Chains A and B, each alone.
Chain A
Amino acid sequence: MTETPMTDNSMTNHSTPTHPDIKTRIARFVDDPTSADFATLALAAFAFQYEHIEPYRNLCDARGIDPTRLDDWRAVPAVPTGAFATTPLHAAEPREIFRSSGTTGPKGGARSVHHHPFPDLYRHVIDASFPHYCLPTPTPLPMLALIPSRDQLGDSSLGFMTDHVLRNWGAPESRYAFGPHGVETDIATNWCAEQTRPVLILTTAFALVDWLDSLDTPLQLPAGSVIFETGGTKGRTREVSRSELIDMITTGLSVPHDHVVREYGMTELTSQLYGDPLHGGDPDVLVAPHWVRVRILDPISLEEVATGEEGLISFVDLGNLGSAIHVLTEDIGYASGSGIVLVGRASGAQLRGCSLTVEELSRG
């Protein structure tokens, strides 16, 4: 399948967590949105986290929030993403530990650490969302990953996801093209040139720019090919606007904009948002699966803002049962139709994301 062996670090021999009921209920809801009510599950997950995660309980107590009296999931206290850098948050023994890419601002900063007790739920979430948003048909596709493998970055949440996707949804000829110094551009180019049916390329925006910059002549990927693209081109070398990136993809790979699926996720979360162009959605509007609620909050009051108004993006992600279902990001966006549009980072916040891992490795 690939020349880079994919290892499974899920420690399947670990004991199962206590209170499996809520996890089972969430997994069932992920599969079948009619099996439960989001609000009920969110409050149950909150109660579970209050009971099992001491720092989170401290936060709730300090705010006077008691799960036995709370009846609105919107009032579940949010954990800022920055808190993951300093405070271990896990409801059971972690079976995976994910770290953000080590991007720091000019003055430095700590990496986020997501102690994940339920990687099986993570895989479940991937299986319920990735194929829907990224595969034109529910059949394995040849996939090329311009993302560090689990061997290269064992603590990368994106690497975990990519590994799972390639194993379960990638055709046998799928492979990685990312080496110790970054994108292996010749391998990537040659692999693409050999493909005769639609492919899926999983990549960070930065890696994609790296690769496209290396092309002497444009490639013509088979019609129906899809680009799964995540992260920005934030970094210390070259930044490319979104419209420029789309132009590069269209010109360099002959993949139209409506086959570029943007993914928005982060180390601190389990689930992801996706653009939905394969189903006719606006490629720049990111939609959430039914087990996730995304809200745009006033940066000061944390009250929800009106549709179209910009604010801090927050998630209530049932997939995050093991850590914090309500996460407040440092990203700015606004609600649009059935999803959100990402505007950028709250200026001055730490730069971070998978793109900088690529940059760091490219310079190594």
Chain B
Amino acid sequence: MDDRSGFEDDRDGPALAELITRLGEQRQAFLALSTESIRRAWITTIETLLDRSDPIRQRLVAPLTRGCGLSAPGLDAALDIMLGGVIGPATDRLFASVSPDEIDDPRPDVVILAGNIPALAVQPLLAALVQRRPVVLKSPSNEPVFAPALVNALGEHLPDVTRMIAAVTWPGGDASVEQPLFAHARKVVAYGGGETIEALHRQLGDRLLALGPKMSIALVDATDPDVELSTVARRLARDIALFDQNGCLSVQAVCTQPSATRALATALGEALEELASTLLPGPIDPARASAIHQLRATTAMAARFVAPTRLEHGTVVVAPPLPEDGLQPSPGARTVRIHPIDQPDDLAAELRAWRGHLQGIAVAGHTWT
């Protein structure tokens, strides 16, 4: 099977406008498909992609590791998470709960995918299937293979659906291409960096659903007797290492009591070192490496603790108390600052600054009020 069949590189605006119009005409046909047939086709497709021995999956490994900057083991772990998250009881409930007949505005959506998270397309495609809404999936230029492969694989089990979904790519930011397409869309959903989102927002206003850069943090109450630091550290390390910290749920900063920062940093450093042997880190570009060297050096110069890890396995430093340096995004490559705080309330002002960009807070321990 050609993984790129169904892949259309239509850089011409009118051609894309025609494509989305054609997709929109398929809505009634989409509604005519049974929920069960769609659900079964979806599950079969995802299970195929979850199977590491399946040829479709195997053909995707090289381009995805290249495009997403992950190692092969890192990619496997990331795909297991992404794909595993779109099948199972929660997905079954989603199919059962949505009544596509009641959805207003049947126009297709356009989804602008980002390249840093492998298999990102499964999330918007699932939503489209549940709503029976035709969709155009735009892949980023650095990773143009997964979305077409997904659509192709789904089409093997539900041929009709390939008339309702298209996976394409074009150079982002080209208004002559995008405007005719966007004009026919109900909404444009965009994943990506701040500049991409800003540019699209200028074009689309309220019709843009922006899923831009996000950050997650962790709160560790080391005074809780049920909190065992090495266990917490291992779990945190996994959260940090998955997707090489590129995911919106990837923990980028940790807060704990001042008396526990060094112990937690030590444990987390050890956990990252251990995890590096199974969840191999991806390549690190020079700019990122520079930023991490700077963080390590300035931390050490300020006589704060730097966990003794190899840079490529991760970096854990003890940061000054907030708000001295503020809560900052990690430079990536599994780098974490550990901030001393006396109470979670100390974070309130910092978190306000991150409104719209904070995805999640992982919490360990409950004795903090």
Q: Does B306 contact A (CB under 8 A)?
A: yes
A-B contact pairs, 28 of them (CB 8 A): A58-B301, A58-B303, A59-B301, A62-B300, A62-B306, A63-B300, A79-B297, A80-B293, A80-B297, A80-B298, A82-B294, A82-B298, A83-B297, A83-B301, A87-B298, A106-B195, A299-B286, A300-B289, A300-B311, A302-B293, A311-B286, A312-B289, A328-B290, A332-B286, A346-B286, A348-B285, A348-B288, A349-B287
The verdict on A83 contacting B290 (CB below 8 Å), with A58-B303, A59-B301 known, is no
In the complex, chain B residues whose CB is within 8 Å of the CB of A80: 290, 293-294, 297-298
- Excluding A59-B300, A302-B293, A311-B286, 12 further A-B contacts by CB distance (< 8 Å) are A62-B306, A80-B290, A80-B298, A82-B291, A83-B294, A87-B298, A87-B301, A299-B289, A300-B311, A301-B311, A330-B290, A346-B290
Is A349 touching B284 in the complex (CB atoms < 8 A)? no
- Shortest CB-to-CB span from A59 to chain B, Å, is 5
* A interface residues, Cβ below 8 angstroms from B: 55-56, 58-59, 62-63, 77-80, 82-83, 86-87, 106, 299-302, 311-312, 328, 330, 332, 346-349
Alpha-carbon distance A82/B301, docked complex (angstroms): 12
In the complex, chain B residues whose CB is within 8 Å of the CB of A301: 311
Residue of A nearest to B289 (CB): A299
* B interface residues, Cβ below 8 angstroms from A: 195, 284-291, 293-294, 297-298, 300-303, 306, 311-312
- Shortest CB-to-CB span from B2 to chain A, Å, is 34
Alpha-carbon distance A301/B293, docked complex (angstroms): 10
- Shortest CB-to-CB span from A174 to chain B, Å, is 38
- Shortest CB-to-CB span from B300 to chain A, Å, is 4
In the complex, chain B residues whose CB is within 8 Å of the CB of A312: 286, 289-290
In the complex, chain B residues whose CB is within 8 Å of the CB of A63: 300
Is B285 touching A347 in the complex (CB atoms < 8 A)? yes
Is B290 touching A58 in the complex (CB atoms < 8 A)? no
Is B284 touching A58 in the complex (CB atoms < 8 A)? no
Q: Which of B195, B287, B297, B300 contacts A348 (CB 8 A)?
A: B287
In the complex, chain A residues whose CB is within 8 Å of the CB of B286: 299, 311-312, 332, 346-347
Q: Which of B290, B300, B302, B311 contacts A349 (CB 8 A)?
A: B290
Residue of B nearest to A347 (CB): B287
Is B297 touching A59 in the complex (CB atoms < 8 A)? yes
Alpha-carbon distance A154/B291, docked complex (angstroms): 29
Residue of A nearest to B293 (CB): A80
Alpha-carbon distance A311/B103, docked complex (angstroms): 55
- Shortest CB-to-CB span from A76 to chain B, Å, is 13
- Shortest CB-to-CB span from A110 to chain B, Å, is 11
In the complex, chain A residues whose CB is within 8 Å of the CB of B290: 80, 82, 299, 312, 328, 330, 346, 349
- Shortest CB-to-CB span from B61 to chain A, Å, is 24
- Shortest CB-to-CB span from B39 to chain A, Å, is 43
Nearest first, the 8 A-B pairs at minimum CB distance are A348-B287, A55-B301, A82-B294, A62-B300, A299-B289, A299-B286, A346-B286, A346-B287
Is B302 touching A330 in the complex (CB atoms < 8 A)? no
Is B287 touching A330 in the complex (CB atoms < 8 A)? yes
Alpha-carbon distance A302/B195, docked complex (angstroms): 32
In the complex, chain A residues whose CB is within 8 Å of the CB of B297: 59, 77-80, 83
- Shortest CB-to-CB span from B312 to chain A, Å, is 5
- Shortest CB-to-CB span from B19 to chain A, Å, is 34
Residue of B nearest to A349 (CB): B287
Is B284 touching A299 in the complex (CB atoms < 8 A)? yes
In the complex, chain A residues whose CB is within 8 Å of the CB of B303: 58
Is A56 touching B311 in the complex (CB atoms < 8 A)? no
Pick the most buried of B288, B297, B298: most chain A CB atoms within 10 A of its CB: B297
In the complex, chain B residues whose CB is within 8 Å of the CB of A55: 301-302
- Shortest CB-to-CB span from B364 to chain A, Å, is 28
Alpha-carbon distance A54/B312, docked complex (angstroms): 28
Pick the most buried of B195, B284, B288: most chain A CB atoms within 10 A of its CB: B288
Is B293 touching A58 in the complex (CB atoms < 8 A)? no
In the complex, chain B residues whose CB is within 8 Å of the CB of A300: 284, 289, 311-312
